[in-house]
């Protein structure tokens, strides 16, 4: 049986990879993919704890995370398409209308 701490370390590594991806990339699509990475890291944690405590509630919450991820992708990609129409680029540095 694999110890629970291994799963936590794995999910921490994946989550931090997602955070760094959001910070260092300029392509909005890659930033959304990094957010998917972070959501998957939380899902791994949920399922590992659910298996550890023999309790299915963790898996139910993965279900809700999945719903939110799907909604986020649909709206996010629609926003990307709208942004691309207005500026014909998806580089985050170009979108600085709200920047002071």
Q: Which residues bind another protein (CB under 8 A)?
A: 1-6, 8-10, 12-14, 16-21, 23-27, 29-30, 32-34, 36-37, 40, 43-44, 47-48, 50-57, 59-60, 62-64, 66-75, 77-82, 84-85, 90-93
SS (H, E, C) the chain: CCCHHHHHHHHHHHHHHHHHHHHHCCEHHHHHHHHHHHHHHHHHHHHHHHHHCCCCHHHHHHHHHHHHHHHHHHHHHHHHHHHHHHHCCCEHHHCCCCCC
C-beta closer to another protein: residue 1 or 98: 1
Residue 81 CB, shortest distance to another protein, in Å, is: 5
Token pair of 39, please? 């959501």
Residue 98 CB, shortest distance to another protein, in Å, is: 17
Residue 99 CB, shortest distance to another protein, in Å, is: 14
């Amino acid at each position: 049986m694999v110890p629970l701490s291994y799963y936590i370390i794995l999910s921490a590594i994946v989550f931090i990879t997602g955070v760094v991806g959001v910070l260092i990339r300029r392509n909005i699509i890659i930033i959304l993919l990094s957010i998917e990475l972070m959501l998957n890291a939380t899902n791994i944690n949920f399922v590992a704890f659910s298996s550890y405590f023999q309790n299915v509630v963790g898996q139910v919450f993965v279900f809700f995370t999945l719903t939110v991820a799907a909604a986020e992708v649909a709206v996010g990609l629609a926003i990307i398409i709208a942004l691309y129409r207005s500026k014909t680029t998806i580089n985050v540095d170009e979108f600085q209308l709200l920047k002071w």
